[in-house]
Amino acid sequence: MFATSVSAEHNLYVPSERNRIKECGGKVMTTAQLEGTEPMHEAWVQGGEPPRVWASDGTKAPGTAFSRSMGDRRASWLGVIAVPEVECCVVSDGVEKILLMSDGVTEFMPDNEIATVARLFPDPAEACRALVGESYKRWMKQDDRSDDISVIILSIEEPPRRERVKLKGGASLALDMTSPASTIDTPPTVTPTLGDINRSQSYLAAMVDDATPATAPL
């Protein structure tokens, strides 16, 4: 079992995200660098104090630690955009679950550990609660607050194996071979009586009479 990440973090550790902020007039540094208690550099380590977006006028705003968001008007002037990165992926055989998470989960939990926790619980709702709880505990070990922690889990189930069974008379029936309730109901054998045959002959004779075109005398 292994986990594959199909998205990228939009934070200020990424050089391309950081460069866009600078081109829009923003500054990227930690709070300690802004206050002058730490020398200027860009060799930040994830898990420590994060770099943030600051206005170039020296004010302690907006101070966002992310490079993309929606609704932050002040930060949008400094290059914090609301444009997503979209990637199309094919869900291949063997994929069990798809997890959608905020960075409050991935901040302190690696992908493979998240996948391991998700597989421990057959119920996706229970798996979500476990990941939220574990993420919150790790935030509390690092800080006196937590980031947004959101998880959605989609369980991918294999489609039922279907087989087509031929019945007498040329008919066929599709069966769900994975369901214990699947049964084959063959139609009962009916032996026509003499009365049934007479009624059928009378009915066919009436149809022939109705279909005979009328002729007019010459």
Q: How far apart are CA 135 and CA 114, in angstroms?
A: 10
Q: Tell me whether residue 201 is exposed, middle or buried, using C-beta atoms within 10 angstroms of its C-beta: 0 to 12, 13 to 18, 19 or more.
A: exposed
Nearest CA among 187, 182, 10 for reference residue 85: 10
Phi and psi at residue 125, in whole multiples of 5°?
-65, -40
- Specify the pLDDT at position 59: 80
What confidence tens digit (pLDDT) does each residue in 159-202 have?
Answer: 666 666 556 565 555 555 555 544 444 445 555 555 555 555 55
- Specify the pLDDT at position 7: 83
Residues of the chain with pLDDT under 70: 1, 159-218
What are all long-range contacts of 5-9, with beta carbons under 8 Å and residues at least 24 apart? 5/111, 6/87, 6/89, 7/85, 7/87, 8/85, 9/103, 9/106
Sign (positive or negative) of CA dihedral 71, 73, 79, 80 = negative
pTM greater than the 0.75 cutoff = no
Q: Are 12 and 21 in contact (CB under 8 A)?
A: yes
